[in-house]
Amino acid sequence: MNESWKSYQTGNFFDELITPKGQPRAAARGAIRLLQQLPTEEMAARRAAAELAIREMGISFTVYTEGGNIDRAWPFDIIPRVISARQWQAVSDGLRQRSRALNRFIDDVYNKQSILADGVVPAEVVLESSNYKAPCAGMSPRFGVWAHVCGSDLVRDGDGKFYVLEDNLRVPSGVSYMLENREITKRVLPELFENYSILPVDDYPSKLYQTLASLSPRERRRPCIAVLTPGIYNSAYFEHAYLAQGMGAELVQGSDLLVPDDDCVYMRTVDGPVRVDVIYRRIDEEFMDPEAFLPDSMLGAPGLMRAWKAGKVAIANAPGSGVADDKVIYAYVPDMIRYYLKEKPLLASVPTYLCMREKDREYVLKNLDKLVVKPANESGGYGIMVGPHSTAAVRRKFARLIEENPRNYVAQPTLALSTAPTYIDDAVEPRHLDLRPFILQGKDSWVTPGGLTRVALVKGSLVVNSSQGGGSKDTWIVEGKV
């Protein structure tokens, strides 16, 4: 075993690859043995090769700062995370179940509202939310599906059990990094692949294409699909371009589109206007159409909502899908599964205290130092307070915020997030991580084998967001014995 691994201690957390006794877990055995035999210099050389590949492949993400936007190289850890296919199957089934229930819910609240009438979800939580988009009421997209692409964040607790932390139903991002991470591992650690049967991830763009094509309002052999990006300076622009290329779709900005009086959407091309059938929207709905939402948005195209409501174009995710992407609604997902599907939830949710409930609020305010407090409506890890890592001043600030606007805050117990061996400087050390798989829902549903593993590179940190010092790992779902 090389030096870097010798002092590896799993600590009090569930480690993805190493048992508490220091042995590799079954699915990871082959990879760990090989990595442990690589001489220290060789490990460093592989990491340098990965960094070079990232630079050359131009895999970057944008960080917004006050001093302007910075394009940073994608942070990547060369040690893959390994999960057995058998274990993954259960997670995947659970995710599909969730996606079905969430879509039933969105379709319901914009139409019959039976779940509200039956009192399963309080009506005011939905109807008074800024995520509820009144212009969407009465719409019924094809297959009753609104959220065609869902990115759910999963974590594992101390016992190794998977929990859903949140469902991102608006414009979830990260899938291109999942694909590139595999590409990099193939380049820099090709020998790892020799004795493994690792489920491939690179058919994602074609699965996405199929999902989107199934939504086309016109029956065509090859519907015209456009990926709508907010533009070349958006942090996920790299991904938008990547997916457009992978699908053979057009990558458009709002200024490339027009919606004349016939309510159809056209792209401006060198041969004149060409009609678009499906828009894969990577822009928040508020900015999507100045005619329907924010009137001074420069990013969207006027008339998109009009076209969508006239059934002349499909939009994925459908405008209004965000109504289910709210940390208060999250607490009701298990109830939704029972209500719509008459099934037992297959995947656990994290117990969630809703500050709008008086009893929950009292508990939260008394236990701020133990809980994670989150705004109901933010993403990217912003505005979160991790109780055990907080100062008294921060706790006072959050107490005030909660009392001012209880509907906007939820709290959850601090989970003992799982760790995995991560190559830091010259040693391999445990770091906390999460996992974002992507669920596609059109005529059929499909889950990525694995997903994007994000890892908190700072020792002890639980914040995995790349904008806040997080890195990532290739994620393997492996079949059979190794």
Footprint on this chain of other proteins (rule: CB under 8 A):
55-58, 224, 232, 237, 241-242, 244-245, 249-253, 255-256, 258, 260, 267-274
CA 460 from centre of chain: 22
Angle, vertex CA 387, rays to CA 385 and CA 388, nearest 5? 135
Closest to other proteins by CB, 199 or 258: 258
* Residue 440 C-beta: closest distance to other proteins, Å: 20
Q: Please count the residues of the chain.
A: 482
Task: Extract long-range pairs of 172-175: CB within 8 Å, 24+ residues apart.
Answer: 172/436, 172/438, 173/236, 173/239, 173/282, 174/239, 174/436, 174/438, 174/452, 174/454, 175/151, 175/204, 175/239, 175/243, 175/438, 175/448, 175/452
| Cβ at position 264, least distance to other proteins in Å | 13
Between CA 436 and CA 453 the distance in angstroms is 6
Nearer to other proteins, 18 or 249 (CB): 249
Residue type, 254: G
Tell me the β-bridge partners of 470: 456
At residue 255, what are phi and psi to the nearest 5 degrees? Answer: -70, -15
Specify the residue for token string 């907010």: 230
Closer residue to other proteins, CB minimum distance, 56 or 118 = 56
Work out how close the CB of 279 gets to other proteins at its nearest, in angstroms, rounded to a whole number.
Answer: 14
Rounded CA Rg of the chain: 23
- Give min distance, CB of 241 to other proteins, in A: 5
Q: Which is nearer to other proteins, 19 or 269 (CB)?
A: 269
Specify the residue, 274 or 384, whose C-beta has the smaller distance to other proteins.
274
Cβ proximity to other proteins, 66 vs 271, nearer residue: 271
Q: How many CB atoms lie within 10 A of CB 142?
A: 15
Cβ-in-10-Å burial (0-12, 13-18, 19+) of 6 comes to exposed
Distance CA 25, CA 13 (A): 14
- Residue 189 Cβ vs other proteins, minimum distance, rounded to whole Å: 20
Q: How far is the CB of 435 from other proteins (least distance, A)?
A: 27
Put the strands of the sheet holding 314-316 in their side by side order: 250-252, 225-228, 278-281, 314-316
Say how far apart CA 218 and CA 396 lie, in whole Å.
56
- Residue among 178 and 410 whose Cβ is closer to other proteins: 178
Nearer CB in complex with other proteins: 57/120: 57
- Distance of alpha carbon 206 from the chain centroid: 19
In whole angstroms, how close is the CB of 115 to other proteins at the nearest point? 40
Beta bridge partners of 62: 71
Look at residue 321 and give its three-state secondary structure.
Answer: helix
Q: Which is nearer to other proteins, 255 or 405 (CB)?
A: 255
Our CB check for other proteins shows the closer of 63 and 458 to be: 63
Is the CB of residue 203 less than 8 Å from the CB of residue 209? Answer: no
Nearer to other proteins, 67 or 272 (CB): 272
Considering the complex, what minimum distance in angstroms separates the CB of residue 244 from other proteins?
4
> What's the rounded Cα separation, in Å, for the pair 316 and 96?
17
> How far apart are CB 64 and other proteins at their closest, in Å?
18
CB of 51 to other proteins, least distance (A): 12
- Rounded CA-CA distance 314/480 in Å is 41
Smallest separation (angstroms) from other proteins to the CB of 251: 5
